[in-house]
Amino acid sequence: MSVQPQTSAAGQVVAITGAGQGIGRGLALAFARAGARAIVVADIDEATAGSVAREVRALGVEAVAVRANVTSGEDCEAMVQRATRDFGRLDVMVCNAGITQLKPLLELDGVDWDRMLAVNVKGSFLSLQAAARAMREQPRPAGGRPRGKIIMMASIAGRSGAGPIAALIAPYRASKAAVISLTQSAAIALAPDITVNAICPGLVETDMWKRMDRDWTALQGVPQGEAWRQRVAAVPLGRPQQPEDVAGLALYLASPAADYMTGQSINIDGGLMMN
């Protein structure tokens, strides 16, 4: 039996939402370096999507930038159609786009909940659905492998606990718990043609966490950076997470090595959550 490299994306066409910055950008560059044939860089900010697409092309990989508001079914369908029109198929869909907010529980209102669930849950669903419709119509790769792979971006915040910050991110935590549940439902609905798995990162050092630290320290009345320092100090592996750490797991899930895995939500957080 031949052993497939666990981090090979050789020949794959990959679409990534929220790819204009942070984890999404890291994923786009990682898939390009791992041998992907083409990357669809989707983001609501067309300028940042274009910038990342140029970075991908500089690595010798085809890339297109697509402006996509994931709360719009039409935008999600157009994103997938761009992949299939330009590159013939879509092998991997990474539903990464998401937002966060820090606000005390009793100060939250309906608008806060609507916005969070619209982007993080509805957006994940619509991009998953658009990708799955296209994937089910395309031929299987050689060897009878799945017709496509969908990777959801959840969070350890969707698990139990989450520490003192839990009181300030109720809609975000609820949205990521919903993504974990959606992953399981979709895995059942789309088997055996398509695998669906979720990644649950921890403290990823991105602009999103910088904004969270700014808001959290303001609420606590402590110097900026202190909330981040406290959270990182609790990580058993002793450092914050980088987008590359998340990308390593995404590459594995997209590879032949994970063809028999579906419906799983995997923690990758330096040991913050252990189960």
Q: Tell me, yes or no, whether 271 lies in a domain.
A: no
User: Are 105 and 158 in a shared domain?
Assistant: yes
Selecting among 31, 125, 172, 252, the annotated active-site residue is 172
**Cα separation of 66 and 49, whole Å?**
7
Q: What is the pTM of this model?
A: 0.94
Range of the domain at 221: 204-240
- The DSSP secondary-structure symbol of 121 reads I
Kindly report the CATH number assigned to the domain that includes residue 260. Answer: 3.40.50.720
Q: Tell me, yes or no, whether 6 lies in a domain.
A: no
Q: Which of 111, 146, 110 is nearest to 131 (CA)?
A: 146
pLDDT computed for residue 5 by the predictor: 52
Total domains in the chain come to 2
User: Are 104 and 234 in a shared domain?
Assistant: no
Residue 172 annotated among the catalytic residues of the structure: yes
User: Are 152 and 213 in a shared domain?
Assistant: no
Q: Tell me, yes or no, whether 2 lies in a domain.
A: no
Residue 150 corresponds to which amino acid?
A: I
pLDDT computed for residue 1 by the predictor: 35
User: Are 147 and 212 in a shared domain?
Assistant: no
Q: Tell me, yes or no, whether 273 lies in a domain.
A: no
User: Are 92 and 145 in a shared domain?
Assistant: yes
User: Are 92 and 228 in a shared domain?
Assistant: no
Digitized pLDDT (tens) for each residue of the chain, 275 residues in all: 343 455 678 999 999 999 999 999 999 999 999 999 999 999 999 999 999 999 999 999 999 999 999 999 999 999 999 999 999 999 999 999 999 999 999 999 999 999 999 999 999 999 999 999 999 999 999 888 999 999 999 999 999 766 778 889 999 999 999 999 999 999 999 999 999 999 999 989 888 877 877 877 777 777 888 878 888 888 999 999 999 999 999 999 999 999 999 999 999 999 988 88
pLDDT computed for residue 104 by the predictor: 92
Q: Is 265 exposed, middle or buried (0-12, 13-18, 19+ CB in 10 A)?
A: buried
Q: Tell me, yes or no, whether 29 lies in a domain.
A: yes
User: Are 167 and 234 in a shared domain?
Assistant: no
- The DSSP secondary-structure symbol of 90 reads -
**Cα separation of 120 and 95, whole Å?**
9
User: Are 146 and 231 in a shared domain?
Assistant: no
pLDDT computed for residue 6 by the predictor: 58
Q: Tell me, yes or no, whether 7 lies in a domain.
A: no
